[in-house]
Amino acid sequence: MKQTPFQTLVSLIEPVFKRPEFIQAAALCLREGRRGREVLLVSSLDTGRWILPKGWPMRNRSLAGAAQQEAWEEAGVIGKAEESPIGFFTYEKKRAGGLPVACRVEVFRIAVADLAKDWPERDRRKRRWMLLDDAARRVKEPDLKTLLLSL
């Protein structure tokens, strides 16, 4: 069957906008609080919304190692990441040029030993322990809400 000119145009342009997912690593820091299980969230740099500490893969580090490093830089977490992810969530990130890209964020549990009083992004972010259901209400990403409520 022959394509129409419009179908040909769509087939040429569509790959520009349908890009592969980018991979990121996130840190899931949990503790047992007085009122139940809590997760540590940080504020995002751009909008101030609540998110898990997360970032791009790092040279010479596993994804778990990248999640552990992001937990330190963004929230002052001193701890150890489990090597296998416990799940993932997806979201669209706006790049510098304004073009959104799909991101798949692998989530790694971090055994928190302590929280530093001073850490690299202390002056740029807030950090807060929240009950899982409260955290699920505050995060924007539907897959992350589901993941938090499953814990």
DSSP labels, 15-64: HHHSPPPEEEEEEEEEEEETTEEEEEEEE-TTT--EE--EE---TTS-HH
Distance of CA 144 to CAs 6, 87, 92, 106, 115, Å? 38, 9, 13, 11, 23
Per-residue buried b or exposed e for 22-36, using 16+ beta carbons within 10 Å of the residue's own CB: eebbbbbbbeeeeee
Task: Kindly list the catalytic residues.
Answer: 73
CB neighbour list of residue 84: distance below 8 Å, 6 or more residues apart: 64, 108
